[in-house]
Structures are given as structure tokens and as C-alpha cells.
Structure 1
Amino acid sequence: MSSVSIIGLGNMAGALAGRNAVEIIGRDPAKAKELAAALGDATAGTAGTAPAGDIVILAVPYASAAAVVGEYGDALHGKIIIDITNPVTPDFKGLVTPEGSSGAQEIVKVAPAGAHVVKAFNTVFGHMLAQGNPLDVLIAGDDTEAKATVSAFIESLGLRPMDTGSLEMARWLEGTGLVMIGLGRFGAGSFDFTLGVNTSA
């Protein structure tokens, strides 16, 4: 199984780390150590140095995601970068990405050539993930081997990966994330729901 590093110290980082032994990296070393200690199997990495994991999960707000990848630069060469962000506008009425692009595709532009970006987990709410339920995780990416590695990681968490195609599909996954936020605010009345795929006849 691939080793995993998580950059970020928020709720989603904690939810993902709580289901797997990982390296936690954050700009606040004390908070990183505190989260790692609370999770038990996790270790605290050092911000700015090469992540130990073969898989690097960007669990940071979209506004800082590209900058974080740019800061790490060649330290991410050969890594699989999982982008979990939803690049939504402050009023939750649209996406902040350029027309025809996605957050994941914008991250590719600043990632080293040897890295592979896979979109995943943006259609899963962190608190629902933390409950340990067997959820579906929609993914998109251009590299078949990278997607297979991410799928195996997802399965190791007790979740089901659902491949939606190339990284061009990421903008539609991000649109789906926006729809889920809208449902949580209006239609469902709470964020205590999940998006799944029923493959039964």
C-alpha cells in the first residue's frame, strides 16, 4: 500500500488521517504534532520539506492550493497529488476557476512535470467521512496508473472509488461539489448526506 502525506490541518485532513496511518504536514508545527498525536498512527512532517508519502493529499482551501504546490516544487516530483478542493465563490453561487478549467487542472500548471494530479474526495463531506461509513468517492485523472493507486488507497479506507474519466471531468466534479453545498444549505436542510452510485439492477 502506498504511503500517504496530508498537507493541511483542517476537518477534512483529520477525517482522512483518522482512517489511515499518514504523515500530517502543516504550517503550524505544534498543531501538526497535536493532530498526529490525537490520531495515534499518524506522524508530523515538516512544512516545506519533501513529503514522505507517495500520495500527497492537498487538504487546504483552494485559494492556497496552487501556491502550496508551487512552494514544494520539485519535492513533489514523482508524487501523486490528490486535489480534494472545491473552488467555490464566497457566495456559493459559482466556481472561481477559469471557464472550461478546474481547480485540479490549474494545480497541474504549477506541479512538477513528474507529478500526477488526481481529483478525489471533493464530493464527500468531512464529517460524513469521519463517521466511518462506506461512502463512494468520485475520482478523475489523466494517468491510469495514478488513478489505480488512488483507487487502491480509497479502498483501503473502506470506501468505494468511482472513476469518472480524465482530469477534464474534474470541473464537473467541482460543479457537483457546489450542487451538494446548495443542497445542504437549501434542499436537504443540513450537510448530513452523501452522494452515492447505485449500480444494482
Structure 2
Amino acid sequence: MADALGTRWAAAGHELMVAGRTQAKAQALAGKWQARTGTFREAAEFGDVALIAVLYQGMPETLAEIGAALRGKAIIDCNNAVEVEHFTLVTEPGRSMAQHIAEVTGGHVVKAFNLCHARVWQMQPPVFDGRPLTVPYCADHDPAANLTERLITDLGCVPLPVGDLRHAHHLEAMAAIVISLLFTGSDAHTVFNLVDHVPQLPGIRPAEVR
């Protein structure tokens, strides 16, 4: 996700800095984008907004390293705490990873970009049947939401606010369904394409959701 989104944002003219737990991976991404690497604190001071893209198993360690570096900063959370045996959330019922990140970092978290496979974000732009992809997001903080909307638009997508951060767990629960479909062989680009799966009744056209 960091690679897919960062590559598109770099192409749109944004300056990026990479911080990570694995220096070699951070340097590889920075080299791809002609960007710099730094510590979490340096990256926080550098950017107007931070994207956290980490497998949920590594999130506690990552947040411990970030500490208070992102306090008061806009943070985009694209992560999903979904185990892939039964495809259920590992977070507490009704609580989201986005809220946890906000509590630990003191940052202004926006939940976004968590419902599509990375291959979708690599599309230039993500357009289906002539329609740009709609990207739902949740946020409590208007300036952070505005920054996120700009980054969504820079991908060629349409931002869709769906509530404050209390609603982030709904997006994460939907991601559990998406991930289960991907693991069972659905096309990453059309995981919600219902046209091929719903029988057409006389006089009724099945809906298509992308």
C-alpha cells in the first residue's frame, strides 16, 4: 500500500519522506520516488500528512517507535486488522484500529484507502466503465479530512465522507469481507462487481458497485 499510494502521489508532484522499521525497505521506496528517508520524528516534522501502512501484527511495535512524533499531525490509516483464517476483525467490538492509532499517537487520524487491493491504487487513474473510483473516508478533524480529500483527488478518485472516526470500524468490517473475497479468488479490480454474480430478473438490471 505504501508503495502503490506513494508512487502515485510522487507522480502527482508531492514531496515524500519515508520512515520505517526496516531501513532497507524504506531506502528502496525512497529511491523509487527520489525521496528521502528519516526517523519517524524527522518524517513527522517533514510532512503535512503521514500515511501509516503496516500489517496489523506489526502495528504495536510501529506505534511504540512513532511515540508522540505525530501528535497533532494529520494521519491516514489504510490498515486492516483482519485475521485471514476466519476473516474477522481482531480489534475490540465497536472499536477501530483508526481510533487506536489516534489514541496512541495523539494525531488526527483519517480512515481511508482500506477497501481496495494495492493493484487498484496502481491504476492511472482508477476508473471503471468510465467512472472514477469513489473512496470513502472517516475523520474527526476538518483540516486532516481536507488534506486526505486532496490526496484522493490526486489519484483521480472521488472522495466520499461517511462520518466521523467512530464510523471507521464499519469501513474495517467491510474490509474483512473484501479480504475474504480476494482470498477466494475474486478479481482485485472488480471485487464488488455484482453483474457477473447476480441472476438478472425480467425487467430488473442488477446493480454494479465499484
| TM-score bin (small chain) | 0.7 to 0.9
8 A contact 1:139–1:162 mirrored in 2 = yes
Structure number with larger C-alpha Rg: 2
1:166 pairs, out of 153, 164, 167, with 164
Counterparts in 2 of 1:66 and 1:162: CA distance versus 1, 3 Å = farther
1:26 pairs, out of 17, 20, 28, with 20
Provide the residue aligned with 1:87 in structure 2: 81
Q: Which residue identity lines up with residue 58 of structure 1 in the other structure?
A: I
- Distance, in Å, in 2 between the alignment partners of 1:58 and 1:173 is 16
Q: Could you list the per-position Cα deviations for residues 105-161 of structure 1 after superposition, in whole angstroms to 9, with x for gaps in the alignment?
A: 12122112xx20110000121011112233221100111222122111211222211
Counterparts in 2 of 1:192 and 1:156: CA distance versus 1, 3 Å = closer
Calculate the TM-score normalised by the size of structure 1: 0.81
- Distance, in Å, in 2 between the alignment partners of 1:88 and 1:78 is 27
Cα RMSD for the two superposed structures? 2.3
Q: By how many angstroms is 1:31 displaced?
A: 2.7
Q: Could you list the per-position Cα deviations for residues 36-73 of structure 1 after superposition, in whole angstroms to 9, with x for gaps in the alignment?
A: 22234xx1322343311111100111222243233222
Provide the residue aligned with 1:36 in structure 2: 30
Q: 1:156 and 2:154 equivalent? A: yes
Task: For structure 1, list consecutive stretches of 5 or more residues without a partner in the other structure.
Answer: 1-11
Provide the residue aligned with 2:138 in structure 1: 140
Q: 1:129 and 2:126 equivalent? A: no
Provide the residue aligned with 1:111 in structure 2: 105
8 A contact 1:70–1:111 mirrored in 2 = no
Provide the residue aligned with 1:63 in structure 2: 57
- Distance, in Å, in 2 between the alignment partners of 1:49 and 1:34 is 19
Q: 1:14 and 2:3 equivalent? A: yes
8 A contact 2:149–2:159 mirrored in 1 = yes
- Distance, in Å, in 2 between the alignment partners of 1:133 and 1:92 is 33
8 A contact 1:185–1:191 mirrored in 2 = no
2:189 pairs, out of 176, 179, 192, with 192
Provide the residue aligned with 1:3 in structure 2: none
- Distance, in Å, in 2 between the alignment partners of 1:35 and 1:150 is 21
Task: For structure 2, list consecutive stretches of 5 or more residues without a partner in the other structure.
Answer: 11-15, 127-132, 194-207
Calculate the TM-score normalised by the size of structure 2: 0.78
Percent identity over paired residues: 34
Q: Which residue identity lines up with residue 112 of structure 2 in the other structure?
A: A
Provide the residue aligned with 2:196 in structure 1: none
